[in-house]
Amino acid sequence: MPIVSTTIEIAAAPAKVREIFLDFDSYPEWSKSFFQSIIVTPRKTGEINQGDQLKVVLPGATFKPVVLTNTPSVFCWRGSIPYIFSGDHSFQFNPSQSTPGHTTFVHGEDFSGMLSFLVGPTWSMGKSTRDNYEKYNVELKARVEGKSFSG
């Protein structure tokens, strides 16, 4: 079962990082490299709950994962083509152990299914997945810290 995991330090408290992360309506303003939009379907206001469906748009692909967890420290969804390919995609908002008041943002995915080996570390899909997660992390960091990002 391949796992892709990335981390980045963000100069803001976990609650602030989570707030900006969950502001899906603003993604078109800043998230250019990976998640182009995330929409809760059906569209609603308020808290996102376990079992809610999302519509996630990436460059060249759209999928509809289901929310598994939404707590102050973790947001996780599962995207799946049953038995063929599934991923539990998680975002963790951890207090930084190195810089008080900052966040260690952990962004990763646990893959399973018959084709999950394709995201292993030696396959190009695994490398591009990691690269995309890291680009998203940099964009989120720039958004939270109020910096512009080009890259």
* Least confident interval from 70-74, 93-97, 109-113: 109-113
Query: Looking at per-residue confidence, does 46 or 123 come out higher?
Result: 46
Q: What is the pLDDT of residues 21-50, one digit of tens each?
A: 999 999 999 998 899 999 998 777 778 999
Q: Does residue 150 carry a pLDDT above 70?
A: no
The domains found in the chain, sorted by start residue, are: 3-145 (3.30.530.20)
45 or 75, greater pLDDT: 75
Residue type, 111: F
- Residue 8: in which H helix or E strand, if any? strand 3-10
pTM score, whole prediction: 0.90
**CA separation, residue 16 to residues 34, 105, 106, 144, 145 (Å):** 21, 12, 15, 8, 10
